[in-house]
A and B are shown apart, each in its own frame.
Chain A
Amino acid sequence: MAVIIKKEDCVGCGACVGVCPFGAISMENDVAVIGDGCTACGACLDDVCPANAIYREAEEKKVAMNKAEYHDVWVYLEQMDGQARSVGYELLGQGRRLADELKQKVAAVIIGDQVAELAVSAIASGADKVYLVEGPEYRHFTTDAYSIAFVDLVNTYKPTAILMGATNDGRDLAPRIAGRVGTGLCADCTDLGIDEKTGLVAWTRPAFGGNIMATIFCPEHRPQMGTVRPKVFKRPETDDARQGEVIRVSSKVRQEQIRTKFVEMLRVCGASCNLEEAEIIVSGGRGMGKPENFQLIEDLACTLNASVGASRAAVDAGWKPALHQVGQTGKTVGPKIYFACGISGAIQHLAGMSSSDIIIAVNKDPDAPIFKMADYGIVGDVMEVLPILNEEFKKVLQD
């Protein structure tokens, strides 16, 4: 599995040093050496070495588990207060596609208190089966209760793959499950497929702040697990005539096993800061000048029923609370339309929003880096452009 450089064949050209995305190759005495940073990704293998001195060590067979016992693709339908998150349905569409390719079934996993009716919509969205775990101990999400319920399902019914939304709770829960069953987990995937040759799920995800993409396999362990970002995939059309089986599984959680206690939810901003699931986001940056001017952002967001975003500069200046921050140290978003107003487009901001379908930028500096990303850019003063933009969208929406 490990990547190896055959010292005697190395011509010391250094061609491999620059291609390593992890900076793990260095030149020592005119010979390339692979250091500890190597992840065996293979970026240095594809025709990089003119002397063919780099090769992959033959894989040793590990008998980790009986993979044949595992079948079906599972989708976790995350809910909060009985409302399923949209990403769950988006993933049912993908789960359906993957399962069809594998000629297996799709099952939805629903955990909660009095959430049985979600099973109906899961089946209408493509599930063949629904595993339903209900009880008052699941009224609110807790890592302990939900992971115990989920791991019990995995050990009993043995799925080949599990897709979960890359939400805050999904990213809290998935690694606990993966850790407990001892399998691999790919975070924040933006593309899914089945590898033709191996039949493995191919999980594709951005890394290095979106500068590179990696496709990851989990060859010898089951289930293959991944979290997938909301809004990457379309929600499938529902078919109310679809039939499916609901399997009720009794709760195995004892109260003393739940070590954290939900107290309350402080809904400081409601939908306006739920940027992860937003269809449209209107974001403001340093170019807004002062906090009062964010009203123009809010106005346009209100017209478009959009969420409100902010750049790091605007959050650091205290103009908007941290929950609105888009970028590497804030939220990663992927709306249909992203308005960047008075945002210059620092790399750390772009890392958080470059997967938006359409980017519309307003900035007075024609050389602002944001324009290199934007599908449409207006060179102009946000203070003048935004009110007119709002006016025009209001007109369009009235018609």
Chain B
Amino acid sequence: MDIIVCIKQVPDTTEVKIDPVTNTLIRQGVPSIVNPFDKNALEAALQLKEQHGGKVTVLSMGPPQAKDALKECLAMGADEAVLMSDRAFGGADTLATSRTLAAGIRKLGHYDLLICGKQAIDGDTAQVGPEIAEALDIPQVTYAAKLEISGDSKVRIEREHEEGYEVVETTLPLMVTVVKSINEPRLPTVKGTMKANRKEIPMLTAADIDVDLDSIGLKGSPTQVHRIFTPKQRVQGQLIQADSPREAVAQLMNKLAEAKLI
């Protein structure tokens, strides 16, 4: 089974802080990481490979330093890694990104399954996976919390839903996005890391793929960021420190009543 996993290198948004004076993001010292959900996607792919054999290829679009993220995926056990990097890809919104990645996937050739994380933690859109599936005209199942493939390529997925899990059956080829609870991503082994360091990561530029240059990058992005601002910070409210829990609760109930919340 040939599986392609799309990954994104993202800033660790939990490490991002706001400069209280300028009210802007402090990016210095914020580490770049493999998007956490994409690690779940890779883990799912590696487990399927262990069951069915085949090959796992990780694909990413990003600046040259995104190679570090791909190296980490190789160290976890991916067989191949490919980086799509070109100034022409830059400034892309989700649609332009998906067109670029879909062109990269076509270039890679045969695949049975495409796995993505449910969303990236910097943009949180959850759109690129489905938009790739659309560009490739393959079916999709999003928010997978359980993914089983039987020998004859029958797929059974439990998909996270607001009230529970929706069981869906389908066949390959397919695009799946996964949630965190699907698995616990493995850590890179020492041997894997050494192997990854020696491994060549080929780079695809715009010239290498079959794509209309007007449909990718900033030019091919229908959406435009008009304005960026920092949200209103919540102000600290009232802290109750009473002698006993009963007294504390009584004070809280009074305050809630005053605020007409109860």
List A residues at the B interface (Cβ < 8 Å): 1-2, 18-21, 23, 35-43, 64, 143-144, 167-169, 171-172, 174-176, 178-180, 182-188, 195, 202, 206-221, 259-271, 273-274, 276-277, 315, 321-323, 325, 328-330, 337, 346-348, 351, 354, 358-360, 366, 371-381, 384-385, 388-389, 392-393, 396
User: Is A274 a contact partner of B163 (Cβ separation < 8 A)?
Assistant: yes
Contact between chains at A384 and B16 (CB < 8 Å):
no
How many angstroms between the C-alpha atoms of A180 and B132 in the bound complex?
Answer: 11
Q: Are A218 and B224 in contact (CB under 8 A)?
A: yes
Is the CB of B123 closer than 8 A to any CB of chain A?
yes
B230 to chain A, nearest CB (A): 6
Interface residues of B in 144-185 (CB under 8 A from A): 145, 156, 158-171, 179-181
Given A2-B91, A371-B239: A276 touches B223 (CB 8 Å cut-off): no
Contact B16 A209 (CB under 8 A): yes
Are A396 and B164 closer than 8 Å at their CB atoms? Answer: no
CB <8 Å contact, B261 and A167: no
When chains A and B are docked, how far (Å) is the Cα of A343 from the Cα of B94?
34
Alpha-carbon gap, A396 to B14, bound state (A): 39
- Which residues of B lie under 8 Å from residue A330 when comparing CB positions? 180
- B228 near A212 with CB under 8 A, answer yes
The residue from B165, B170, B222, B228 contacting A266, defined by CB atoms under 8 A apart: B165
> Could you say which residues of chain B place their CB within 8 Å of the CB of A195?
226
From the candidates B89, B98, B145, B262, name the one contacting A179 in the complex (CB within 8 A).
B98
Partner of B262 from the list A42, A270, A359, A396 (CB cut-off 8 Å) is A396
- Cα A270 to Cα B164 with chains together (Å): 7
- B253 touches which one: A202, A208, A212, A396 (CB < 8 A)? A396
Contact string against A for B residues 231-260, beta-carbon threshold 8 Å, 1 for contact and 0 otherwise: 100101111111001101110110110000
Shortest Cβ distance from A82 into chain B, in angstroms?
A: 15
Contact in complex: B166, A262 (CB < 8 Å): yes
Instruction: Looking at the assembled complex, report how far the CB atom of A332 sits from the nearest CB atom of chain B, in whole angstroms.
Output: 8
CB of B255 within 8 A of CB of A376, answer yes
11 contacts between A and B (CB under 8 A): A2-B91, A21-B25, A144-B139, A212-B229, A213-B229, A260-B141, A261-B169, A263-B167, A276-B162, A328-B14, A347-B14
Name the residue of chain A whose CB is nearest to the CB of B102: A179
Selected from A175, A180, A213, A220, the residue in CB contact (under 8 A) with B228 is A213
In the assembly, what is the distance between CA of A282 and CA of B255, in Å? Answer: 19
Return chain A residues, CB-CB under 8 Å to B245.
378, 380-381, 384-385, 388
In chain B between 13 and 42, which residues have their CB closer than 8 angstroms to a CB of chain A? 13-14, 16, 18-19, 22, 24-28, 30, 36-37
Name B residues whose Cβ lies closer than 8 Å to a Cβ of A.
11, 13-14, 16, 18-19, 22, 24-28, 30, 36-37, 62-63, 85, 87, 89-91, 93-95, 98, 121-131, 133-135, 139-143, 145, 156, 158-171, 179-181, 218-219, 221-231, 234, 236-242, 245-246, 248-250, 252-253, 255-256, 261-262
Contacts of A64 on B, CB cut-off 8 Å?
222
Q: Is the CB of A21 within 8 A of B228?
A: yes
Choose from A168, A187, A347 the contact partner of B162 (Cβ within 8 Å). A168
Report the minimum CB–CB distance from B61 to chain A (whole Å). 10
Report chain B residues within 8 Å CB of A377. 237-240
B169 near A392 with CB under 8 A, answer no
B residues in contact with A172, CB < 8 Å: 130, 140, 142-143
Residues of A within 8 A of B124 (CB): 187-188, 206-207, 209
The one of A212, A260, A378 in contact with B170, judged by C-beta atoms closer than 8 angstroms, is A260
Residues of chain A lying within 8 A (CB to CB) of residue B127 = 171, 174-175, 178, 185, 187
CB-nearest residue of chain B relative to A200? B226
The answer to whether B168 and A260 have CB atoms under 8 Å apart is yes
Are A39 and B91 within 8 A (Cβ)?
yes
Q: Which of B13, B16, B93, B224 contacts A219 (CB 8 A)?
A: B224
**B94-A21 in contact (CB<8A):** no
In the assembled complex, which residues on chain A have CB atoms less than 8 Å from the CB atom of B143? 168, 172
How many whole Å from B250's CB to the nearest CB in chain A? Answer: 8
A269 touches B249 (CB 8 A): no
Distance in angstroms from A317 CB to nearest chain B CB is: 13
Whether B36 and A185, one on each chain, are in contact in the complex, defined by CB atoms closer than 8 angstroms, is no
Partner of A265, one of B13, B161, B222, B223: B161
Q: Is the CB of A175 within 8 A of B90?
A: no
Q: A216-B225, A260-B168, A266-B167 are in contact. Are A371 and B85 (CB under 8 A)?
A: no
A168 to chain B: which residues have CB within 8 Å? 142-143, 159-162
Question: Which chain B residues lie closer than 8 Å to A220 at the CB level?
Answer: 222
With A263-B169, A276-B162 as known contacts, state yes or no: A215 contacts B262, CB within 8 Å.
Answer: no
Residue ID in chain B nearest A20 by CB atoms: B27
A269 to B248: give the CA distance in the assembly, Å. Answer: 32
The reply to whether A385 and B249 form a contact with Cβ atoms under 8 Å apart is yes
Closest to A172 in B: B142
Q: Bound complex: CA of A346 vs CA of B13, how far in Å?
A: 12
Once bound together, how far apart are the Cα atoms of A217 and B237, in whole Å?
Answer: 35
Q: Is the CB of A322 within 8 A of B179?
A: yes
B94 contacts A269, CB within 8 Å?
no
List 9 A-B pairs, minimum CB-CB distance, nearest first.
Answer: A184-B222, A322-B181, A179-B134, A184-B223, A375-B237, A259-B139, A175-B130, A187-B125, A41-B225
Assuming the A-B contacts A2-B218, A260-B169, are A389 and B249 also in contact, with contact meaning beta carbons closer than 8 angstroms in the complex?
yes
- 4 further A-B pairs in the complex, CB-CB below 8 A; given A2-B91, A175-B130, A337-B261: A39-B91, A143-B139, A179-B98, A211-B18
Docked-complex contact B223 and A186, CB < 8 angstroms:
yes
Q: Which of B62, B164, B242 has the most CB of A within 10 A?
A: B164
A21 touches which of B24, B126, B131 (Cβ 8 Å): B24
